[in-house]
Amino acid sequence: MDDGAELLVGELFQSLAEEGRTETREALLDVYQNSAVREREALSRTLLSELLALLDARLDRETEVEILANSVGSLTERFSAMVQSIPAAVVVLDAERSIQFWNDGAERLFGWDESQVVGRPYADTLAESPETLDRLLASLVDGESLTGVESCHRHANGSSLDVRLWGAPLTGESTDGASLFVHDISEQKQREQRLTVLNRLFRHNIRNDVTVIRGHLELLSDERESEHIDIIADRIEDIRGLSEAAHQIEKLQNSDETEQTTFDPRVLLCDRAGRLQAEHTTIELRQDLQVEGHVVGHELLPYAFDNVLDNAVEHNDADTPQVDVVVEPAVEGDRVVLRVADNGPGLPETEQAVLTTGTETPLTHSTGTGLWLTQWIVRESDGSISVSESRFGGTEVEIRLRRPVD
């Protein structure tokens, strides 16, 4: 039975109870229960017709009309109140794509009240590109759906709004219009644009300046040795690393599900651990790679493991830094566990919060972007990450990734 018929039947029961028609209500209930079991897969209108026929047989015409009118009216009022309370814009169009219904959310979003827009073409009234949107609305009225379509709309004061549209045709005996759900994404789009511009400025302008400065530092270091030159060179390398991190953040921001791929975790960690050993020859590195098969991960997953491995060494103040790299099957058969443990001083709580919850406060914030990137990349890989104390007394980072679905 479809939702609309089910709701109307419920209102009929309620109206009969309020009118004191107990016997008729019980007879209606018997027909409903028997038909619902016998014809659960049948068209809902068949059952509703049977119920209406019973009302016609048991009640006089005036009472029947009154009860039906009360039921439909109550149902209409309930839906109207619900739609009006929705905080987003809900709009109903007719077959000509003109506005027929405009809820309070639409009035708040666009600045027009219902009396100003009812009867006007939706696209001509609101869209910055009416022809493009009207073609989409025509297909909507013809029976297709809209799912998260982005468009630029106009506010009553003349300003522009970025919105996302969802829509479905209204169908009865024939298609006679469509309903639209409109969500304002202006702030989200502005944040994305600002991030893109700042990132581009950071990456290109600062990276170019860093390249020039490094060139001059190399010339100076050829002529003389100085602790100050070494310090400046280290800081320049930090800035270069930030530029690379910004590049990775931009890639992650623009990624989608198609950028997930599969990795052999043994090959991945063996390769990244080998790089770590080559760069830090004094560390004691142990690998225990027990798992077979592949895991699913974002294409930036190797970069996340670089961050975890680098963190195990760079902040390690032990005389002989130790790093354990383990890959093993999880208790859940569809997951693989990857662990990196060290004997360093332990990860501060503020840094742990970044990895495990993705949060920080203005007073207690992470000192770098690497941990943020790791958390984001693991999340985009449909994985999870946790931090605990290692068996050495340092930090153990555990990453769980899922296996591909066969």
* Domain locations along the chain: 3-83, 86-184, 188-253, 257-402
pTM, entire model = 0.50
- Whole-number pLDDT of residue 398: 93
- Whole-number pLDDT of residue 119: 93
Q: What does DSSP assign to residue 64?
A: H
Two tokens at 217?
């530092």
- Whole-number pLDDT of residue 211: 74
Cα 217 from Cα 220, distance rounded (Å): 5
Instruction: Examine domains 86-184 and 257-402 and report if their fold is the same.
Output: no
**Within the chain, which residues score under 70 in pLDDT?**
1-87, 171-175, 193-205, 207, 221-227, 230-231, 234-235, 237-259, 354-369, 406
Burial class (CB in 10 A: 0-12, 13-18, 19+), 118: middle
Task: CATH number for 86-184: choose from 3.30.450.20, 1.10.10.10, 3.30.365.10, 3.40.1160.10.
Answer: 3.30.450.20
- Whole-number pLDDT of residue 153: 92
Cα 205 from Cα 199, distance rounded (Å): 10
- Whole-number pLDDT of residue 258: 47
What single-letter amino acid sits at 401? L
- Whole-number pLDDT of residue 274: 86
Q: Does domain 257-402 have CATH number 1.10.10.10?
A: no
What single-letter amino acid sits at 238? D
Residue 32 near residue 46, CB atoms below 8 Å: no
Which neighbouring-strand residues pair with 395? 389
Cα 86 from Cα 69, distance rounded (Å): 26
- The rounded Cα 248 to chain-centroid distance in angstroms is 19
